[in-house]
Amino acid sequence: MTTPSSVSLTPARAAPATTASKWRTIYTRAVADKTVLVSVLAFYGLAMAVGVGALWPPLQETFAAIAGKFPAAFDALLGGLSIATPAGWMHAELMSLMGPGFLIAMAMMSAVSATAGEEQDRTLGLVLSTGVTRTTFLFAKAAAMVTHVLIVAAALFVGMLIAGRVGGLGIPVLDSLAATVNMILIALVYGAIALTLGATTADRRLTLSITGALLGVSFIAASFLGLVDSLVWLSKINFWYPYMASPALAEGLDWGNAAIMAGLAVGIGAIAFTIFPRRKDLRG
């Protein structure tokens, strides 16, 4: 028996992994690692949006009757919207805290796993031993965090569209889209904070605690300091204000505030890309 000369007996060598393929592998694994959490938040986000919209028909007459009795401060907390309107109702129940809260939680959990989680789980060294640079690693993780937020945001957006049909809200699709973009941007701000803190502290619990505290303080400051004339200026100096000052469901996208949130997300995230590649005490 002879062997055809055209067939090589030497095993073919696998092509060396390129930077792009390494990036894709890290990104794909990072996205897949949060499949359960993303699915749960997307499902509940969609269901919550539909539920809030479905409650509008039976409640609208009640709100119309009592809205005039609410103090002006109440409408101020809703971005100047009256709860007796569909946009005010959806803003109060969905956009003021719960909707962005879902996305922020998703961004924080994804971001903290990207850096501090990898170090504490002692898996970072294994990934970096493949020759991937720290910058490429962090880019892949940051992209996965954005993907997680976008998936949950898409579910919320679909939920709002269904809510509009179910509840007869009459809110334009573009305004629902603008409100979704606002939620994405504020989520990415806190995601960038968590990413940077995780890349700096390498401590999952500390990162979540500090980011959560910043979120709480920012929300309280933006919501309540503005009710006192002498403290209005102070209410604007925090991460939450650009989001709260943009009731997009009624007014569409405020490009100025959107640019501020995008700038904060990019600027704070850039700090992580400055610190992480230079750290000399990486664990794992």
Q: What is the pLDDT along the chain (284 residues), one digit of tens a residue?
A: 444 444 455 555 666 678 888 899 999 999 999 999 999 999 999 999 999 999 999 998 888 887 777 766 666 667 677 888 899 899 988 998 899 999 999 999 999 998 888 888 888 888 888 888 999 999 999 999 999 999 999 999 999 999 999 999 999 999 999 999 999 999 999 999 999 999 999 899 999 999 999 999 999 888 888 777 788 888 888 899 999 888 888 888 999 999 999 999 999 999 999 999 988 877 76
User: Are residues 34 and 150 in contact, defined by beta-carbon separation less than 8 angstroms?
Assistant: no
Residue type at 106? M
pLDDT at 3: 46
pLDDT at 225: 84
- CA 234-228-97 angle, to 5 degrees, is 70
pLDDT at 15: 65
**DSSP state letters, 119-139:** HHTT-HHHHHTTT--HHHHHH
User: Are residues 152 and 38 in contact, defined by beta-carbon separation less than 8 angstroms?
Assistant: yes
- Tell me which residue has tokens 């946009």: 87
CA 115, CA 124: separation in Å to the nearest integer?
8
pLDDT at 178: 96
pLDDT at 5: 47
**DSSP state letters, the chain:** ----TTS-SSPPPPPPPPHHHHHHHHHHHHHHHTHHHHHHHHHHHHHHHHHHHHHHHHHHHHHHHHGGGS-HHHHHHTTT--TTSHHHHHIIIIITTHHHHHHHHHHHHHHHIIIIIHHHTT-HHHHHTTT--HHHHHHHHHHHHHHHHHHHHHHHHHHHHHHHHHHT----HHHHHHHHHHHHHHHHHHHHHHHHHHHHH--HHHHHHHHHHHHHHHHHHHHHGGGSGGGHHHHTSSSSHHHHT--HHHH---HHHHHHHHHHHHHHHHHHHHHGGG-S----
User: Are residues 159 and 49 in contact, defined by beta-carbon separation less than 8 angstroms?
Assistant: yes
The candidate with the shortest Cα–Cα distance to 246, out of 184, 179, 153, 188, is 179
- Tell me which residue has tokens 């986000």: 45
CA 53, CA 171: separation in Å to the nearest integer?
11
